[in-house]
Structure 1
Amino acid sequence: MKNTKFIVSIVSCLLLAFVGRVVFADETSADGYSVSANIPDFQTDTNVSYFDLLLEPKEQKEISIHLVNNSKETATFIADVNNAATNSNGVIDYSKTNFEKDRSAKYELNKLVTPKTQEITLASGEAKDVAFQLKMPDENFKGIILGGIHVEKKDAASKKLEGTGIRNKYAYVIGVKLQNSMDKIDPDLKLLTVKPGLQNSYTTIFAKLQNPTATIMNKLAVNAKITKKGSKEVLYETKSNSLSVAPNTNFNYPIDLKKQKIQPGEYTVTIDATKTETGQKWHLAKNFTIQSDAVKKINKEAIIKKEPINYLPYMIVVGIVLVVVILFLSYKLMRQQNKGR
C-alpha cells in the first residue's frame, strides 16, 4: 500500500505558540525549492516569519511570498490560501484546501485573501514574488482570523523513494493571522456529537469537540471516558496532553476501543479538559446510542483483537464426564464381582 506522508521541512523558525506545530521555511527543501514571507512594513510583530497583521475594518493591503526554484529543472508550484483547521490529533492544520467550516466561524481567510489558488511555473534557478490581495471584513471583529498560504510542488505526489512504497511530499506553510485589536478572548470548549467509526482500521468512538471562539486553545489536556449509560464503570478511556485547537473549528477526538468490537447499546461519553496554561477547566458529558445496524459494517472492516479461547470450562465439563464414566464403570464392575461369588 502506498502511503502519502507529509514531511514539512524543519529548516525555519516555528510559528509561535499561537499556531502550534506548523513550521515556516526559508531554506531549500529536499524538493529543491524554498518559500519565505516578504514581511511588510505594516507587520505587527517583525520578529516572526509569518504574517501577523493588525488592520482596520475594510482596509486593503497586498502581501507576498518569495518562491525560489533551486532545482535543475523547470518546476510548477501550487500556492493555496487555506483556513486553519484542527485535525484528530489535536494539531492545527493548514494543508486542507476544502473542509466544512464550523458554524461559529463568521469569516474565512481564503475569502479575505485572494486569489485562493495560484499556479506558478519557475525555470531552474528562477525566483519570484507571489502576491495576494487582502481585504479586511467590513465590520470590526474580536479575536483572530487564522490560516496560511500552503505551497507545494505540483508533481510532489509522484516522487517515490527507491525500494519503498512510501511517497514523500514536501510542503511549506506561511501563516496568516488577522486582527482588528489585541484584546484577548476567553476560549471555550463544547461537545457537539458522538459517533462510532474507524481510525486506521481500528474501532473508535469519535467525540466532536468545538472551539466556538476566535482564539487559539494551546496546551489543552483531555481525558475522555466511555461508560454504559447510568453506570460509573469505565469501559474505555483515552488521555491526551498539549492539544492545539484552531479558532472557530471543530474536530473528532478519537477514543480508542482497544481493538474490540463496537457493541450496540446506550452509553455516556465524559470529557474533562484543562487548558494547562491558565487552569481553565471544562466538564462535558453526552449520552449516545449505538445501533446494531450501524456497527455491523464497521466491525466487519475493523482490525479486531482475537481473544484467546478459555479452555477451562471445557476442561471442567470433560473432567466431570470422565469422573461419572469412571464411577459408572466401577459400579458395574463391583456388581459383576458380587454376582460371581
Structure 2
Amino acid sequence: MTRNLKGMFLSILTAIGLLAVCSLNVKADSVSQTGFTFNIIYPDNQQSQKGYFDLKMKPGAKQTVELEVYNPDKKEITVLISLNSAKTNANGMIDYLDNSIKEDKSVVHHFEKIVTGPKKVKVKGKKTAKVKLTISMPKESYDGVILGGIILEKEETSKKERQVETTQVSNRFNYAVAMVLKETDVTLEPELSFNHISVENKVNTSRIDINFSNTVADFLNEMTVEVQISKKGSGGVLYETKKAHLRMAPNTLIDFPFEVNEALTYEAYEAHILVTAENKAWEWTEEFKVTPQKQKSVNEGLGDKKGLSWAIIVYICLFIIFLTLGIYLGIRQLSKRSRRKKKRRSR
C-alpha cells in the first residue's frame, strides 16, 4: 500500500471515529441559569416560613399576595407566569408542571379559578419587579387544602436562545412556588379509591399502570405501594414490586407504574395491591386482561421493530466504506499484477 493510500485510509478511519462519537453523544447547549431570582413577600396570614405561600383565609375572602423578581442582567427580560393545580406524578411526587396528568374527579375547587394573575412581567436590567396575584376563596366553607403552584420562567427571545429550544435536547429552567390555601385546621381522614389497571407498550418492557386516587382534600404522606401480579386463579406470583416514601397531592390520582421485562401473554391476570399510609391500609384484588390487540402492540414493542438508531447507521456506513475501500484496493492490486505480467512478457 503506498503512502498516499495509507494516509487516505487513516483519514477515513479518523473521520468515521469522529462521526461515531458525535452521533452517540448528541448534546445541546443548555441554558446556564434561570436568568433571574425571586423573593416571596409573606403576608400577615402566612402560617409558616417554609419557602412557599401557606395561607389561612375565611370563606369568600379576597387577598392580593406578591412576589419580587430580580433581573441580575443588564438587559431587560420577560418572565412568564403560569398557575397550575398540583398533581401527583408516576414517581409518587407532587408535580406543578406536568399538565398532561389528568385531574381527579374528586376535585371541587380548581386552583386556577381561585388564584389569578398576569401572564408575564417585564423586568429591567439590574431591577426588581413585583408580581401580584389575587386570591378569591370559595364562598362556602370547606375543610382541607387547595394546592397549586406558581411557575416562573424566563421567556427565550434571542436568536441563540430560540435555537437552543429547537434542538433535540434542551434544558428549561424555572421556579415553582407552591401555594397552600385553607380555611380551617380540621384534620381529614385519608381515603383512597381504586380506578383501573391498564397495560401500556414501552421500549423493551410491558408496563402495567395501577391507577388510584387520593379523594381527600389533604396530603397523603409516607405512602408505600406493594403490587403482586399472578395468573387468574393461580396461587403463584409472577411479578411483584414495592415502593416506599411516596406522596400524593390533595384530590389527585396516580398512575403507579409496574414494568416487567417480558411480553404479557393473552390471558387473565390478577393484581393484588396493598397501599399503606398514615397508619391506614387499602387493599384491592383486581382482574385485568391483555387483549389480542394489546398483546400485538406489546410484542411489537418488545421485538425487533425498533427502528434504526444513530449507532446502527454509523456501523452500516462504516461497513460500506470498508467494503468500498477493500474493493478499490483489490482492483488496484490486480491492476498492478496485470501490468507486471505484461512487462515480463514483453521482455
Partner of 1:12: none
Partner of 2:227: 224
What CA deviation, in whole Å up to 9, does each residue of 1:271-320 have, x standing for no partner? 11111xx322121221112101123223313478xxxxxxxxxxxxxxxx
Q: Which amino acid aligns with 2:107?
A: A
Tell me the secondary structure at the aligned position of residue 299 of structure 1.
helix
After superposing on structure 2, the runs of 4+ consecutive aligned residues of structure 1 that deviate more than 6 Å are: 1-4
Partner of 1:43: 46
* Greater strand fraction, Structure 1 or Structure 2: 1
Tell me the secondary structure at the aligned position of residue 288 of structure 1.
strand
Tell me the secondary structure at the aligned position of residue 167 of structure 1.
coil
- Residue 274 (structure 1) aligned with residue 287 (structure 2): no
Distance 1:111 1:233, change over 3 A: same
TM-score, normalised by the number of residues in structure 2: 0.73
Distance 1:97 1:252, change over 3 A: closer
Partner of 1:295: 295
The CA RMSD over aligned residues, in Å, is: 2.6
Distance 1:129 1:294, change over 3 A: same
Partner of 2:141: 140
What CA deviation, in whole Å up to 9, does each residue of 1:1-30 have, x standing for no partner? 9899x99xxxxxxxxxxxxxxxxxxxxx82
Tell me the secondary structure at the aligned position of residue 234 of structure 1.
coil
Cα distance in 1 for partners of 2:272, 2:129 equals: 52
Partner of 1:241: 244
Contact 1:214 1:248 in 2 (8 A): yes
Distance 1:284 1:145, change over 3 A: same
Cα distance in 1 for partners of 2:27, 2:251 equals: 30
Contact 1:229 1:266 in 2 (8 A): yes
Shifted more, 293-302 versus 207-216: the winner is: 293-302
Partner of 2:85: 83
- Match among 185, 200, 205 for residue 202 of structure 1: 205
Shifted more, 56-65 versus 294-303: the winner is: 294-303
Cα distance in 1 for partners of 2:264, 2:163 equals: 39
Contact 2:109 2:146 in 1 (8 A): yes
Cα deviation for residue 189 of structure 1 reads: 1.7
Q: Which amino acid aligns with 1:91?
A: M
Contact 2:73 2:126 in 1 (8 A): yes
Tell me the secondary structure at the aligned position of residue 269 of structure 2.
strand
* Greater helix fraction, Structure 1 or Structure 2: 2
Cα distance in 2 for partners of 1:122, 1:225 equals: 54
Contact 2:202 2:298 in 1 (8 A): no
Cα deviation for residue 236 of structure 1 reads: 1.2
Cα distance in 2 for partners of 1:303, 1:177 equals: 47
Partner of 2:214: 211
Q: Which amino acid aligns with 1:33?
A: F
Q: State the percentage of identical aligned residues.
A: 27
Instruction: Write out aligned runs for 1:26-105 (5 A).
Output: 30-45=33-48, 47-97=49-99, 99-105=101-107
Cα distance in 1 for partners of 2:51, 2:295 equals: 47
Partner of 1:123: 124
Cα distance in 2 for partners of 1:303, 1:150 equals: 41
Cα deviation for residue 154 of structure 1 reads: 2.1
Cα deviation for residue 208 of structure 1 reads: 0.3
Partner of 1:191: 194
Contact 1:266 1:287 in 2 (8 A): yes
Distance 1:274 1:36, change over 3 A: same
Cα deviation for residue 255 of structure 1 reads: 0.8
What CA deviation, in whole Å up to 9, does each residue of 1:20-47 have, x standing for no partner? xxxxxxxxx82321122211112122x2
Tell me the secondary structure at the aligned position of residue 293 of structure 1.
helix
Distance 1:108 1:287, change over 3 A: same
Q: Which amino acid aligns with 2:244?
A: N
Partner of 2:285: 285
TM-score, normalised by the number of residues in structure 1: 0.74
